[in-house]
Structure 1
Amino acid sequence: MTVAIKLSKYQLYGLLKNYHWMVKEIQRIDHYLTETDFQGTAQYGIEATMPKAQGVVGKALENEVTRRVEKSKRLQKYIEEVNLINERIPLVTDEKEKVVLDCLLDGLSLTAISKHLGISRQQVTDIREKIIDTLAKN
């Protein structure tokens, strides 16, 4: 079940602008968090029962865990923001607006979109404003 979240036009503009790199960052962080670098050595006999030094290694491990937790929080934030845009994409029904939205989500600049479509940069800006108005209606 999705919850309708009211976003300002300014927030939507930022999400559209950042969408492309957030998707890349989601992939990168997810890959980082799913890999493990544990290189422990099994111990046997009396050494296995002896207390281990917690000094530098313990602090380094604690710092890495804290860093991963922060990455995980950032990952969740990016996923939520990307999903907010993805849930609103079907609201855009005009074909030219769909193309411009797709180009924006792919990370193309307004100038690149204008060259791609053969229209002026101002026309692309106007279409982007219409898209943001449409996405903000939810």
Structure 2
Amino acid sequence: MTEKQIEQLLKDYHWMINSVKIMREGLNDVGGNFTAQYGLEAAMPKAAGGHSDPIYQEFLRREKRWKKISDYEQKIKMVQDKIHLITVDREIEVLHWLLEGKSLLWIGMHMGFSDRHIGRIKDTVIRKMSHMSDTSKK
């Protein structure tokens, strides 16, 4: 992965975690089991006509949401698989707060550093995480 891709994953991590949690709850809370009618029975012959069945349309909408959840989970796992590479205390702290969705300014105020200094630490974290990707390809 490139440094830009890793930086974007770090920026998106917090909201993706929250979205996965909320989407899972929402999709699990709503009643109805669509797999019986649309799982095995989806392969059965059907009468001619379009997909005007609103329940079927809801099934398709939910299926897309589950795929989106899976996509977010893969991205979250990519970040989590690289966290162990960060071993310096300041870098660990900055990474933690980035993953919590905090701004560089907030982290700087929390740690007593300027946001520019926090930005340099963040860049080091990203560089270390991207080198793991480079070395794993060799």
Q: CA deviation at 1:59?
A: 1.9
Provide the residue aligned with 1:87 in structure 2.
Answer: 81
The structure number with the bigger radius of gyration is: 1
CA deviations on 1:92-136 (whole Å, 9 max, x unpaired) are 011000000000001100110010011011101100000000000
Provide the residue aligned with 2:41 in structure 1.
Answer: none
Q: CA deviation at 1:35?
A: 2.2
Q: Does 1:110 align with 2:104?
A: yes
Could you list the runs of 5+ residues in structure 2 that have no partner in the other structure? 33-48, 133-138
User: What's the TM-score, normalizing by structure 2?
Assistant: 0.79
- Structure 1 segments (4+ residues) deviating >6 Å: none
Give the counterpart letter for 1:136 in structure 2. S
Work out which of the residue numbers 54, 65, 80 in structure 1 matches 2:59. Answer: 65
Work out which of the residue numbers 61, 77, 101 in structure 1 matches 2:71. Answer: 77
Q: Distance in 1 between matches of 2:99 and 2:17?
A: 10
Q: Does 1:16 align with 2:27?
A: no
Provide the residue aligned with 1:25 in structure 2.
Answer: 19
Provide the residue aligned with 1:130 in structure 2.
Answer: 124
Q: Distance in 2 between matches of 1:110 and 1:59?
A: 49
Could you list the runs of 5+ residues in structure 1 that have no partner in the other structure? 1-6, 39-54
Q: CA deviation at 1:36?
A: 3.1
Work out the number of aligned pairs and report it.
Answer: 115
Give the counterpart letter for 1:14 in structure 2. Q
SS in 2 for 1:107: coil
Provide the residue aligned with 2:94 in structure 1.
Answer: 100
Q: CA deviation at 1:67?
A: 0.6
Q: Distance in 2 between matches of 1:130 and 1:81?
A: 20
Give the counterpart letter for 1:62 in structure 2. Y
